């Protein structure tokens, strides 16, 4: 295990080691180390509730390989129980997800949260509570291979590809191909959401953190009649992968909706803000990119904690809402 851990690190400008999981390890062109082992060892109980009924709050094992320990407030824990467990079609599979709705019948403007590379995504009740308090529905689709959706987990696919003896460049290109494949599920999720009677199909935005930020930018490039894209730390952990970095730059150049890129100062790297930020700002209008002060004391807290925890939401929440308003997607968007 120590050997694998050493192969999962690279040096930050500060001289401190930067630990990677999943796509971050693709950067090194080496085998996936401890994070894959842990991801296989840690599993959540399967989502067993029938569709369109409140889902059990069974996320205790979610995201343990990606985010630090954190205690949710009692209000968030109670709100998690209101999530509706839903199914949506994508490439012949019925994928799963969660929906949070504001009070009332709608139709509501909606956010689509794209989870990261973790095999066991969280239902993100903190963000759900924030969205619904401000009149937005939230849909968290779970892409194929991530629990509780069926299909092959892309982390296993890329690990097998590495084990086959592929060279570093081929591995990096394979990662991009899998990223594009995963985005088909995002497209399917958006299309499903548009058909729901309680959703305003003309007021949907995509958002997500890390690998989910990349997925959101790819969706924004496609257009999909979206209104906006909010990308937290898009690809920061895999920024050293030249192929992924270049594909992300292409996506930002091609985005068809306003984009808001956010990072905290102590993220794994500020490469996305340094490279993508100027491209986004140059587009003008509602487009913006912002680096916030450090959040917490670790890189993980500066990424996942900043984007997903209540304490982080309090920092960027007003900017988030102002951006949506500027993008024509205020609470009462029609």
Which DSSP string corresponds to 21-65?
-THHHHHHTS---HHHHHHHH--PPP--SPTTEEPP---TTTTTT
54: left (phi over 0), alpha (psi -120 to 50) or beta: beta
Residues 161-188, mean pLDDT to the nearest whole number: 95
Residue with more model confidence, 264 or 56? 264
Which CATH superfamily hosts domain 2-326?
Alpha/Beta hydrolase fold, catalytic domain (3.40.50.1820)
In the 8-state DSSP scheme, what is residue 117? S
Which of 260, 186, 248, 179 shows the shortest CA–CA distance to 223? 186
Helix, strand and coil in the chain, % to nearest 5: 40, 20, 40
pLDDT value at 208 more than 50: yes
The 3-state DSSP class for residue 216 equals helix
Q: In angstroms, rounded to a whole number, what is the distance separating the alpha carbons of residues 143 and 121?
A: 9
The 3-state DSSP class for residue 142 equals coil
Give me 153's structure tokens: 């987990």
Q: In angstroms, rounded to a whole number, what is the distance separating the alpha carbons of residues 306 and 322?
A: 18
Give me 267's structure tokens: 């993220």
Q: Give the pLDDT confidence score for residue 69 in this predicted structure.
A: 82
Q: Give the pLDDT confidence score for residue 332 in this predicted structure.
A: 60
Residue with more model confidence, 330 or 31? 330
Q: Give the pLDDT confidence score for residue 10 in this predicted structure.
A: 36
Q: Give the pLDDT confidence score for residue 68 in this predicted structure.
A: 74
Q: What is the pTM of this model?
A: 0.83
Strand arrangement, sheet containing 199-209: 53-54, 84-90, 93-100, 137-141, 108-114, 199-209, 228-232, 259-264, 288-292
- Contacts (Cβ under 8 Å, ≥6 apart) of 246: none
Q: In angstroms, rounded to a whole number, what is the distance separating the alpha carbons of residues 274 and 276?
A: 6
pLDDT value at 55 more than 80: no
Residue with more model confidence, 224 or 45? 224
CB 309 within 8 A of CB 264: no
Mean pLDDT, the chain, rounded, equals 83
Which of 78, 75, 97, 77 shows the shortest CA–CA distance to 86? 97
pLDDT value at 287 more than 70: yes
Q: In angstroms, rounded to a whole number, what is the distance separating the alpha carbons of residues 82 and 30?
A: 42
Residues 252-264, mean pLDDT to the nearest whole number: 97
Instruction: Quote the Cα angle for 128-291-118, to 5°.
Output: 45
Which residues, in sequence order, are bridge partners of residue 88?
A: 95
Most confident among 50-54, 92-96, 166-170 (mean pLDDT)? 92-96
Distance between alpha carbon 268 and the CA centroid of its chain, in Å?
A: 15
Which residues, in sequence order, are bridge partners of residue 127?
A: none
Which residues, in sequence order, are bridge partners of residue 228?
A: 205
Q: Which residue has the tokens 């903190």?
A: 126
Give me 281's structure tokens: 């700002």
């Amino acid at each position: 295990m120590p050997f694998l851990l050493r192969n999962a690190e690279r040096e930050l400008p500060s001289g401190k080691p930067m630990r990677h999981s999943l796509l971050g390890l693709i950067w090194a062109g080496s085998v996936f180390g401890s994070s894959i082992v842990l991801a296989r060892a840690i599993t959540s109980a399967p989502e067993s509730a029938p569709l369109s009924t409140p889902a059990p709050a069974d996320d205790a094992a979610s995201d343990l390989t990606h985010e630090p320990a954190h205690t949710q407030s009692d209000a968030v824990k109670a709100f998690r129980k209101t999530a509706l467990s839903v199914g949506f079609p994508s490439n012949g599979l019925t994928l799963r997800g969660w929906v949070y709705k504001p009070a009332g019948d709608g139709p509501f403007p909606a956010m689509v949260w794209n989870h990261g590379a973790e095999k066991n995504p969280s239902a993100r009740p903190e963000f759900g509570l924030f969205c619904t308090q401000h009149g937005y529905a939230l849909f968290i689709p779970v892409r194929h291979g991530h629990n509780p959706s069926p299909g092959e987990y892309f982390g296993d696919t890329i690990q097998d590809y590495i084990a086959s003896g592929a060279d570093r460049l081929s591995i990096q290109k394979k990662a991009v191909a899998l990223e594009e494949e995963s985005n088909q599920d995002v497209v399917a999720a958006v299309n499903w959401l548009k058909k729901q009677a309680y959703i305003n199909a003309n007021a949907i935005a995509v958002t997500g953190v890390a690998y989910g930020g990349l997925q959101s930018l790819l969706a924004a490039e496609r257009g999909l009649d979206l209104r906006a894209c909010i990308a937290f730390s898009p690809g920061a952990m895999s920024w050293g992968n030249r192929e992924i970095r270049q594909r992300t730059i292409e996506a930002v150049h091609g985005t068809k909706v306003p984009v808001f890129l956010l990072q905290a100062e102590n993220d794994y790297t500020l490469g996305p803000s340094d490279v993508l930020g100027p491209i986004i700002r140059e587009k003008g209008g509602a487009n913006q990119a912002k680096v916030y002060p450090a959040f917490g004391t670790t890189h993980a807290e500066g990424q996942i904690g900043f984007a997903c925890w209540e304490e982080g939401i309090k920092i960027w929440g007003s900017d988030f809402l102002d951006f949506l308003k500027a993008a024509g997607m205020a609470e009462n968007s029609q």
